[in-house]
Chains A and B, each alone.
Chain A
């Protein structure tokens, strides 16, 4: 992890992002600035198409912003970043590899020490409850298990920063809650800095130490809400707290005020 604790893990400065198509120019993001400290868990919520996924991809260096800059761990982002773990909306597993080999893909590409990577993979498999499914192909798994495998892969190289793009959006409500609880535990145990893009208000509040609420396109941050809850959060009791209800209501208001159908 990072030695200089004062340095933000991620610093986003005056980000603007426009897409040009044949017919039109779309502004996905405008004037977005963010400072994320190491170990924080940032939830980004906003209506569909507000550019939250774009923001995540700019941080990862997958999309180039039109204006503004991003610093990741003190270095300016100019291209795809290797220091992040990225979890995609769909699990993005390789269909032809079993769970373990999918997770170890990360090690193969990065040229990590094989034995060490395998130990780490086994640890993550154990932690996410995938034991017994090491050789199962993605199509043999439920959606939740696929996402767990993808999460293991994103964590294999012990990235200081984990970027998650609606990773649980396609899961049923129950699986989603389970994954939220697991993610909270993984975050506490690894100390990783997490940026989570989500549609779910409950997910955003339950997991986040801070919530950034975005406006409809062109996306900008309309409100920053600190979450005054302990890092260790039991699911049911947390959802019953006044803090949770207050924040959820506030976010709902903000989103409702800015968009009729979200």
Chain B
């Protein structure tokens, strides 16, 4: 066939076997059938969604959880209003909102402290985790040396070593950050190692025939291919980093949401306690969403990130 009318037979694209690519393609072809007669210009690429369509998708994705949350809030409100449970055990949503409004500035500063510890811990865990994964993947010797130690570090209950960290590092932010790193580090290593190892062997042969250096092979082939796994690990890690920071604050602190939680439960201040819980969850959710956004920017090509894909398989 001449170049002006290339073959358009839309057979399932044959992607690398380790990606879900090939599983999705038939659906894609079904959704947008190609016309065999059309030239290259006639076949349109999937259109990037515009703002309105994006908004519609967000709405479509969020109405169910929003509804469920609304129902739960209503039940909470009903329980508190009917005083089915003592108000010092379950405060009304209104009381919690009042606390959030009245003690806004104080709560904000505590939230900031916990966020700061979480973020520093997460960034360190991500850096150390990915770095360790690279060492493990590139050196058999280091793998044998490092992996058992990492596993050992992982099985120690982190909460149990929190008091030691306070003894070592004092009551400042350091023990909280260290705890966040220790908790968040493991999923990053495990997922990054899996990602770096998941490279299609043919790509390594390709890079060899191109004469690529080890560094080029890493930067152009291995690392981009590992990103989907790495991002999955980072999403787990960021929520765990919050836990690490809060647990660190439980053990010894003068500020932060963990400290507020302990104080409010000691005072049986249920509205403050609930407000505090809400703020902790908010940190985790916001950070998680930030990672999700970063993911959609970094790996728009990946199956998990493609628009309008896999509607029947999710």
Give the B-binding residues of A (Cβ under 8 A).
Answer: 57, 60-62, 80-82, 84-86, 88-92, 94-97, 105-106, 108-110, 126-133, 135-146, 148, 170-172, 174-175, 178-179, 181-182
Contact = CB atoms under 8 A, between A and B. Distances in A.
A143 B14 contact: yes
A126 B8 CA distance: 16
Interface string B11-22: 111111101010
Contact of A132 (B11, B43, B224, B303): B43
A170 B210 contact: no
Interface in B19-75: 19, 21, 24-25, 28, 34, 39-41, 43, 45-46
Interface string B189-208: 00000000000101101111
A172 B8 CA distance: 11
A89 B6 CA distance: 21
Interface string B253-272: 00000000000000000000
Most buried by A among B10, B12, B41: B10
Interface residues of B, number: 50
A95 B209 contact: no
Given A84-B209, A142-B9, A95 B220 contact: no
A129 B14 contact: no
Contacts of B8: 142
Contact of B9 (A97, A109, A136, A175): A175
Contact of B208 (A62, A91, A105, A146): A62
Nearest to B200: A92
A89 B85 CA distance: 67
B202 A92 contact: yes
Contact of B3 (A84, A91, A128): A128
B40 A88 contact: no
A135 B300 CA distance: 13
Interface of B: 1-17, 19, 21, 24-25, 28, 34, 39-41, 43, 45-46, 200, 202-203, 205-212, 216, 220-221, 224-225, 299, 301-303, 306
Nearest to B204: A62
A82 B202 contact: no
A132 B41 contact: yes
Nearest to A96: B301
A143 B11 contact: yes
B303 A139 contact: yes
A178 B205 CA distance: 27
A179 B200 CA distance: 24
A167 B121 CA distance: 48
B25 A139 contact: yes
A81 B5 CA distance: 35
A95 B21 contact: yes
Contacts of A171: 11
A109 B43 CA distance: 31
A3 B225 CA distance: 41
A111 to B, nearest CB: 9
Contact of A126 (B3, B9, B41, B225): B3
A181 B6 CA distance: 12
A146 B12 CA distance: 11
Contact of B210 (A110, A130, A132, A138): A110
23 contacts: A62-B205, A80-B211, A86-B206, A88-B205, A90-B15, A90-B200, A91-B14, A92-B202, A94-B220, A94-B225, A95-B225, A95-B302, A97-B301, A109-B210, A129-B2, A129-B3, A129-B40, A130-B6, A142-B34, A143-B13, A144-B9, A175-B11, A182-B1
Most buried by B among A81, A135, A143: A143
B202 A90 contact: yes
Contact of A88 (B202, B210, B224, B301): B202
Contacts of A132: 39-41, 43
Given A137-B301, A146-B14, A179-B7, 9 more contacts: A90-B16, A90-B202, A96-B224, A109-B211, A129-B5, A139-B303, A140-B46, A141-B13, A174-B7
Given A105-B220, A109-B207, A133-B40, A139 B11 contact: no
Contact of A80 (B24, B208, B306): B208
Contact of B40 (A82, A92, A131, A178): A131
B1 A178 contact: yes
A144 B14 CA distance: 9
Contacts of A81: 209
Contacts of A136: 45
A196 B4 CA distance: 26
B298 to A, nearest CB: 9
Most buried by A among B1, B41, B302: B1
B11 A144 contact: yes
Contacts of A89: 202
A108 B217 CA distance: 12
